[in-house]
Chain A
């Protein structure tokens, strides 16, 4: 080990790269099917009447959200952790047989949980809580997988050579702690097999069924504290971890400001958790909580933009790279969409705006400009950066990357513009009264008017999926078609120059 660079071990990173791509395709494909089901209801019986129970919109919808959040995104988070963690802590996974074993266990148990989720959601076994649909046996599996992830993080930190934790590691630690807290509290439930009848029977009914420990308004409060912050600690925090590592690495530029990263990290940690109440405006949750949710959502612009601006300023003096390198394109567009989405969210959290936006497609549009533009682009960029290094092969096709970039950008733009128009149109029609004070539109009027926007959204989603398939193909060809370099590509990026 004397005087030569550490040889990092990417076994587990590679495994999670595979699930990122496979589950990404699955999740996005289901999303496209859902989009076309709303535009053309006939698509609900795409596999015939006999299978309609399993292919209709409502059964597929949780599969889409969970496949994208816990399949695609979380795999991407794990893959990048098993890559970035070693490098910023200056320690190889190969140095610890225990960590290697835990990492592999982490992967295989994760896969088991994914299979269990897919089977149970197709069967309609769900708690109905968004992004927390899993019944208690699966919850236990999720907790075990998460604990293994934590052991990997803190285990690697425990044997590190670099004493100071790099910014990305802060964010990975926060991801672990945040999700752990949220998931545990939101999934407090009692298995109904514990109920005993007066006749002394117990273990009645489905063994996997459970009932929430919270009821009504409280349940809603805990669920959206969770739901909003699952977005925070799944879609924001670990993705920021990625961009803090991959953008400086790929561009060769140092992070613009350490102080700005401090401010945005601790600010984000403190403010984000308060904002969940903005999902419950005008509900039966007490007014002061709604107002807090609203106010903190607006404050949230500060730490969010802090990170995004830090990223953009990191490119100071090097903007020609955006034109030259497709990978920089992906990351700069990602941080731009992050800024865009974290401005849009607070606007929707203002009470008077929320009165129109809530329950409409504008919210769906907001989620997707964040997830497609920010999360999706950043994860793909991370994998593009990692691929040449973990496979010791140059990226298969740079022009394919550029084509993918533009196709997907067009897809995202079609998606969110159509959903804005759809959402605001519907929100305004719901509340419209005629000159006599009667409702101006019946509900179905506000549905049929959306048809053209649903078609445009479907096309936008399809373009994004096509781009993702190009990404998968490019990575596959990188793995298989290129000659192996005799050493890991250490410094120069294959995209540079």
Chain B
């Protein structure tokens, strides 16, 4: 058979393809519908949080920080409850990372504050002596891309039925509605309201002035995103 295949490239290629595709069919497909269901307490990202997530991705924070708490005592002691599949239902893409040069961030919103992040992103070693993380000063002057975040909200609501403007159940029995603007102008207004809350807790006068002018620096969006990780 093998000698015959080696003289018939078409059938050879078909054979190779069947053999390599087999594992994907068996391993990946069965889980698809199940794993994408959110658990109670998981809400979609707001416009500003999503813009912050884009800042996180733009700077490849995931190259050094994981977002996956494994079910070991040492990890739950350090980072909080281990990760559940449904908690990632609105994560497109997933940001688990593959290397922990810095600590896991999946529940960083539980134990770090806006103020801490502000100081840390400006000069990591001043907050954590010995840190090898570079400073991210440009995030204080670059503007967050709210329009793209809004476009992504629209896209996921449209194609994947992500429940924006609908009530989603929270752990304490209440419900929460994550607002998505009806227009670009409204989306920017919603993001700015959120940004003002973050900026109020920050010290950097330039950032405060920028937000007061109606613009949102990347750092504000990023902190909104990090605070949302709980």
13 residue pairs of the A-B complex, CB under 8 angstroms, read: A58-B59, A59-B59, A170-B16, A205-B148, A217-B35, A220-B94, A273-B22, A284-B85, A363-B99, A430-B74, A431-B72, A439-B74, A444-B129
Contact among B63, B90, B100, B158 with A196 in the assembled complex (CB-CB below 8 Å): B158
In the assembled complex, B150 has its CB within 8 A of some CB on chain A: yes
Given contacts A270-B22, A284-B83, A447-B131, whether A218 and B60 have CB atoms under 8 Å apart is no
Residues of A within 8 A of B229 (CB): none
- Cα distance A364–B100 in the bound complex, in angstroms: 11
How many residues of chain B are within 8 Å of chain A by beta carbon? 93
Nearest-Cβ distance from residue A225 to partner chain B, whole angstroms? 6
**B63 and A192 form a contact (CB under 8 A):** no
**A58 and B70 form a contact (CB under 8 A):** no
Nearest-Cβ distance from residue A182 to partner chain B, whole angstroms? 9
In the assembled complex, B64 has its CB within 8 A of some CB on chain A: yes
Nearest-Cβ distance from residue A327 to partner chain B, whole angstroms? 28
**B62 and A44 form a contact (CB under 8 A):** no
Given contacts A57-B63, A190-B155, whether A205 and B31 have CB atoms under 8 Å apart is no
Residues of B within 8 A of A178 (CB): 20
Nearest-Cβ distance from residue A201 to partner chain B, whole angstroms? 6
0 or 1 for each of B102-123: is its CB under 8 Å from A? (1 = yes): 1100000000000000000000
**A52 and B96 form a contact (CB under 8 A):** no
Given contacts A157-B9, A165-B12, whether A194 and B155 have CB atoms under 8 Å apart is yes
Residues of A within 8 A of B129 (CB): 444
Given contacts A126-B58, A165-B7, A270-B19, whether A216 and B89 have CB atoms under 8 Å apart is yes
Residues of A within 8 A of B134 (CB): 37, 41, 44-45, 52, 56-58
0 or 1 for each of A112-153: is its CB under 8 Å from B? (1 = yes): 000000000000111111100000000000000000000000
**A217 and B94 form a contact (CB under 8 A):** yes
Residues of B within 8 A of A190 (CB): 155, 159
Given contacts A128-B93, A218-B32, A225-B28, whether A192 and B151 have CB atoms under 8 Å apart is yes
Q: Most chain-B CB neighbours within 10 Å: which of A220, A285, A360, A433?
A: A220
Which residues of A does B touch, CB under 8 Å? 37-38, 41, 44-45, 49, 52-53, 56-59, 61-62, 124-130, 154, 157, 163-165, 170, 173-174, 177-178, 181, 185, 190, 192-199, 201, 204-206, 209, 211-212, 214-223, 225, 262, 266, 269-270, 272-274, 276-277, 279, 282-286, 289, 292, 296, 355, 358-361, 363-364, 430-433, 438-439, 443-444, 447-448
A-contacting 9-mer, from B181-189, B191-199, B204-212: B181-189
Q: Most chain-B CB neighbours within 10 Å: which of A38, A266, A447?
A: A447
In the assembled complex, B221 has its CB within 8 A of some CB on chain A: no
Given contacts A173-B13, A192-B155, whether A126 and B73 have CB atoms under 8 Å apart is no
**B101 and A282 form a contact (CB under 8 A):** no
**A217 and B88 form a contact (CB under 8 A):** yes
- Cα distance A296–B152 in the bound complex, in angstroms: 38
Which residues of B does A touch, CB under 8 Å? 2-3, 6-7, 9, 12-13, 16-17, 19-24, 27-28, 31-32, 35-36, 57-64, 66, 68, 70-75, 77-78, 83-103, 125, 128-138, 145, 147-160, 181-184, 186-187
- Cα distance A284–B62 in the bound complex, in angstroms: 18
**B60 and A59 form a contact (CB under 8 A):** yes
Nearest-Cβ distance from residue B139 to partner chain A, whole angstroms? 9
Contact among B35, B70, B130 with A282 in the assembled complex (CB-CB below 8 Å): B70
- Identify the closest chain B residue to A271 (Cβ): B23
Given contacts A195-B154, A448-B130, whether A181 and B17 have CB atoms under 8 Å apart is yes
Residues of A within 8 A of B132 (CB): 37-38, 41, 447
- Cα distance A493–B62 in the bound complex, in angstroms: 48
Residues of A within 8 A of B59 (CB): 56, 58-59, 124
- Cα distance A374–B140 in the bound complex, in angstroms: 44
- Cα distance A358–B71 in the bound complex, in angstroms: 13
Given contacts A124-B58, A218-B35, whether A443 and B103 have CB atoms under 8 Å apart is yes
Residues of B within 8 A of A206 (CB): 145, 147-148, 151
- Identify the closest chain A residue to B3 (Cβ): A164
Residues of A within 8 A of B63 (CB): 57-58, 61-62
Contact among A165, A277, A443 with B9 in the assembled complex (CB-CB below 8 Å): A165
Contact among B75, B102, B184 with A197 in the assembled complex (CB-CB below 8 Å): B184
Residues of B within 8 A of A199 (CB): 182-184, 186
Given contacts A174-B20, A211-B92, A282-B71, whether A204 and B57 have CB atoms under 8 Å apart is no
- Cα distance A296–B27 in the bound complex, in angstroms: 12
Residues of A within 8 A of B181 (CB): 197
Contact among B7, B72, B151 with A195 in the assembled complex (CB-CB below 8 Å): B151
- Cα distance A266–B32 in the bound complex, in angstroms: 28
Q: Most chain-A CB neighbours within 10 Å: which of B16, B64, B87?
A: B16
**A201 and B35 form a contact (CB under 8 A):** no
- Contacts A38-B101, A128-B95, A198-B182 known; list 20 others, CB within 8 Å: A56-B134, A58-B61, A124-B59, A125-B58, A128-B93, A157-B9, A199-B183, A205-B147, A205-B149, A209-B152, A218-B31, A225-B28, A274-B27, A284-B83, A285-B31, A289-B27, A359-B97, A364-B99, A443-B78, A443-B102
- Cα distance A463–B14 in the bound complex, in angstroms: 44
**Closest 7 pairs (CB-CB, A-B):** A216-B88, A195-B154, A205-B148, A273-B23, A199-B183, A284-B85, A124-B58
Q: Most chain-A CB neighbours within 10 Å: which of B12, B60, B102?
A: B60
- Identify the closest chain B residue to A277 (Cβ): B27
Residues of A within 8 A of B155 (CB): 190, 192, 194-195, 211
Contact among A38, A56, A286, A433 with B74 in the assembled complex (CB-CB below 8 Å): A433
Residues of B within 8 A of A126 (CB): 57-58, 60
- Cα distance A32–B114 in the bound complex, in angstroms: 34
- Identify the closest chain A residue to B165 (Cβ): A198
Nearest-Cβ distance from residue A277 to partner chain B, whole angstroms? 7
- Cα distance A219–B70 in the bound complex, in angstroms: 18
